[in-house]
């Protein structure tokens, strides 16, 4: 049962208080597929330029990611340059060069169209819907978006959300999308737009999930060194949807475990620049940290 991800593949230049990484592999589809690949086969749809290095193709291949859907276009790969403040919670975009990504029109290879689990990375909601039109009968459609689309294409976004099962956004985006400050009310308003399940990502404060069964909270794993937060959200999504694909169904207890698996993958992602930590990661390390999450959160009756 493969997972289909559609999103960006990029070269990131990242500055943190701990150092700088120059043109390293990034983009939502890269982080997502590296994380999800620990649970199920991943098919990637994205676009890169002629400058995209074979070494980076090899990084994704090493994790078994199917790259038939990775289009190579004349021009340069999407480049992003960001700088994090000392608290690692706020970042400035120094520069964004969309390059070939500006012309991205996702074409889903015939072999991908039976995918049962789909992740729509943060792209134009019109394109997100175009992807869904090419998929036969997905079981779970998960989706990310951002302030740019919430304010810029609200009607298109609503049409897309009506076809989405799980929306994963941050708390500021949830408030903006719903117009509600209170996060419980915001979640109810967003779920009324379509997504039965809403995952609200709060960075170092963890995540809240709202589903038809109620709500669930998971902390972020307290790390002594958060090295580079880039990609944490997409790694979360990869662990989350990857786990759902491997476990099957979407009962509440499966969703809860998926949230913790997402948090686990995100906690590894931020330990090094770009996808570096995901490259060396093993399933044993994942399972060990999942167990630590349990110790971190469980308690008995009074």
Q: Contact residues for its own copies (CB under 8 A)?
A: 86-87, 181-185, 202, 204-206, 208, 214-219, 222-226, 243, 247, 253, 256-257, 259-261, 287, 290-291, 294-302
Min dist. Cβ of residue 15 to its own copies (A) = 16
100 and 79 Cβ atoms separated by less than 8 Å: no
Nearer to its own copies by Cβ, of 149 and 243: the residue is 243
> What residues have CB less than 8 Å from 33, skipping those under 6 apart?
5, 42, 44, 60, 63, 65, 238
Min dist. Cβ of residue 88 to its own copies (A) = 8
Min dist. Cβ of residue 264 to its own copies (A) = 9
> What residues have CB less than 8 Å from 243, skipping those under 6 apart?
39, 254, 257, 258, 261, 262
Nearer to its own copies by Cβ, of 163 and 290: the residue is 290
115 and 242 Cβ atoms separated by less than 8 Å: no
Nearer to its own copies by Cβ, of 50 and 182: the residue is 182
Tally DSSP H helices, then E strands, for the chain: 11, 13
Nearer to its own copies by Cβ, of 22 and 253: the residue is 253
Min dist. Cβ of residue 217 to its own copies (A) = 3
2 and 111 Cβ atoms separated by less than 8 Å: no
Instruction: Work out the angle at residue 288's Cα, subtended by the Cα atoms of residues 285 and 290, and round it to the nearest 5 degrees.
Output: 110
Nearer to its own copies by Cβ, of 131 and 140: the residue is 140
Min dist. Cβ of residue 66 to its own copies (A) = 24
Nearer to its own copies by Cβ, of 140 and 260: the residue is 260
Min dist. Cβ of residue 279 to its own copies (A) = 22
49 and 97 Cβ atoms separated by less than 8 Å: no
């Amino acid at each position: 049962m493969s997972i289909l991800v559609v999103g960006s593949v990029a070269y990131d230049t990242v500055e943190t208080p701990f150092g700088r990484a120059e043109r390293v592999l990034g983009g939502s589809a890269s982080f997502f597929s590296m994380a999800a690949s620990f649970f199920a086969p991943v098919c990637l749809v994205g676009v890169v330029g002629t400058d995209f290095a074979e070494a980076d193709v090899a990084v994704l291949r090493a994790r078994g990611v199917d790259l038939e859907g990775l289009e190579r276009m004349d021009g340069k790969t999407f480049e992003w340059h960001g700088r994090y403040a000392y608290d690692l919670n706020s970042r400035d975009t120094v520069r964004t060069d969309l390059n070939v990504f500006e012309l991205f029109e996702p074409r889903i290879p015939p072999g991908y169209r039976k995918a049962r689990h789909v992740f729509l990375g943060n792209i134009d909601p019109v394109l997100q819907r175009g992807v869904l039109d090419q998929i036969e009968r997905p079981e779970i459609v998960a989706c990310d978006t951002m302030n740019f689309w919430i304010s810029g294409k609200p009607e298109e976004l609503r049409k897309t959300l009506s076809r989405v099962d799980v929306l994963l956004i941050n708390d500021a985006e949830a408030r903006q999308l719903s117009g509600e400050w209170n996060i419980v009310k915001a979640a109810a308003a967003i779920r009324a737009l379509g997504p039965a399940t809403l995952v609200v990502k709060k960075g170092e404060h963890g995540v809240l999930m709202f589903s038809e069964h109620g709500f669930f909270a998971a902390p972020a794993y307290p790390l002594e060194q958060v090295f580079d937060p880039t990609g944490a959200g997409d790694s979360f999504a990869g662990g989350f949807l990857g786990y759902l694909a491997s476990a099957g169904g979407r009962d509440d207890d499966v969703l809860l475990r998926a949230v913790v698996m997402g948090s686990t993958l995100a906690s590894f992602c931020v330990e090094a620049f770009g996808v570096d930590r995901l490259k060396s990661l093993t399933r044993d390390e994942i399972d060990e940290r999942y167990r630590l999450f349990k110790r971190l959160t469980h308690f008995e009756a009074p």
